Structure 1
């Protein structure tokens, strides 16, 4: 009786946390993405590698944001989902697949900055808006292929009544899927940390006491904002995911299952803050692109002459 009451309290707390977090995440995330796109199309005249990656990130974040209201509904109707299994599979695909698409695009932004700043002589051969577009297309197509795995989250039960929840036993025993997701995250984290440290070191070496170099400071802020957003948003969820996977496979005692399940839900909700915090990166990228456009405009050229 006490266990049931405790589980009920945990569930109610998680539900309240999700409602508190998802509402501003959806509202602010949508606002920031629309503002960034508007600014990009009406103010920035020329696309750069960074803005191409930014457009891809906005696209993936917006698709993920679309699923959040339905995720709130699904938690309130845990065993009474009545919007159909097909629609549920579409929502789960958009939600989980686009999260890893965002992770990979964030990695690309970091590597792109690293190449441009740390290896300027080979950068022209490796970087271009066309190549950035191709990379984004490959990531979007590659992550879309991941929808095949999300279609099997509930196993062979086509009459399931709980969306985003109660995944099948076979899903939690799928070591290949688990290894792929965890490897994608932790390898991305390691690569981004390395690239960011090297980029920041290089930028700080270039600074001179009598010349603060505003563009150098902005480049530093872009890579730092990108890394911090990545770490703050995604690390708690992937650690919780690892622990919960170990519990479901009896590596850790199952007495922790209910607690870890709640933590997994909370950290997954926290990970979606990425859709809002990406706005910080958008700000610096767009400001840099706008200044680059103004610098290369005919009026500016005339002034210099």
Structure 2
């Protein structure tokens, strides 16, 4: 989703080398490096595993591939973020595209994960019906197309939010350019809260169904552990950044950005990095376990 909140101009601050916020942003640039390297390797291996099984794809595989595409394209553009943290990219239309692309892929991952949770719940709750549905891949393809269509539409509707003249730096909006409150509602409620509630409901139902079964197999125990881990990872990765969205929207920035340190600013950028690590956890939690268990 095309959005970034007001922050100080780190290109100006870094010239004096004394601002704590600048140091935090430089540290964030360093932290993105292992995310890129690890995420690239893991997702490349996952995509290779999917291609190797292309003759046996089910609707589950379609959702997983869509998630892999969202995470992989997100990772491929992280080097721009790393470069901007150290050297600052010029404020051009490229920056607008990068902001759009960054959030579009992040929310594609969130929404796809929610649909995977629904599909996994149906597979446990209605196993016979779901096995029949699994032969109909057209439904999952349509769902994935609708996800991307929805996100592209949102980017188009709010395309003026990140024009170059509205940016302090390539990934940062000017503090005097207010954000449409409707956009915040879409991001927080539709982009995060609704998917989280769906994931929490489906995951808790799966765990409860497995818990009630006597003589549980090792496969069912593994599924319960994986479902629990996926729900925790989703909550940990995406909750902070959306709290940061709300805090920044209601936060009044200091009059002098160069001499004042903003904890809210730092919290948002750290939480953004935490959200980016989800692209690595997705591969561990879904792709490789998919080769062993039907979900």
Query: TM-score normalised to the size of structure 1?
Result: 0.80
Q: 1:52, CA displacement in angstroms?
A: 1.2
Name the count of aligned residue pairs: 274
Q: List per-residue Cα deviations over 1:30-72 (Å, max 9, x = no partner).
A: 1111101111222564112222111001101111112211112
Distance 1:150 1:24 in 2: 32
**Aligned pair 1:266/2:270, yes or no?**
yes
Task: Name the counterpart of 1:13.
Answer: 24
Q: 1:126 to 1:7 in 2, by over 3 A?
A: farther
Distance 2:18 2:130 in 1: 55
2:160 alignment partner, SS class: coil
Q: Which runs of 5+ in 1 are unaligned?
A: 251-255, 293-305
Q: Which shows bigger deviation, 55-64 or 161-170?
A: 161-170
Q: 1:156 to 1:284 in 2, by over 3 A?
A: closer
Q: List per-residue Cα deviations over 1:236-257 (Å, max 9, x = no partner).
A: 111121111111599xxxxx98
**Aligned pair 1:183/2:189, yes or no?**
yes
Task: Name the counterpart of 2:145.
Answer: 137
Task: Name the counterpart of 1:60.
Answer: 70
Distance 1:167 1:284 in 2: 43
Q: 1:137, CA displacement in angstroms?
A: 1.3
Q: 1:117, CA displacement in angstroms?
A: 0.9
1:288 alignment partner, SS class: coil
Q: Which has the larger radius of gyration?
A: 1
**Aligned pair 1:96/2:119, yes or no?**
no
Q: Which runs of 5+ in 2 are unaligned?
A: 1-12, 255-259
Tell me if structure 2 keeps the 8 A contact 1:155–1:168: no
Tell me if structure 2 keeps the 8 A contact 1:110–1:226: no
Q: 1:47 to 1:207 in 2, by over 3 A?
A: farther
Distance 2:41 2:229 in 1: 19
**Aligned pair 1:246/2:250, yes or no?**
yes
Which one of the candidate residues 112, 119, 131 is aligned to 2:119?
A: 112
User: What is the 5 A alignment of 1:19-30?
Assistant: 19-30=29-40
Q: List per-residue Cα deviations over 1:199-233 (Å, max 9, x = no partner).
A: 1111222241xxx4233223323422321221111
Distance 1:96 1:168 in 2: 19
Task: Name the counterpart of 2:201.
Answer: 194
Highest relative contact order (Cα 8 Å, sep 6+), 1 or 2?
A: 2
RMSD: 2.8
Distance 2:20 2:168 in 1: 22
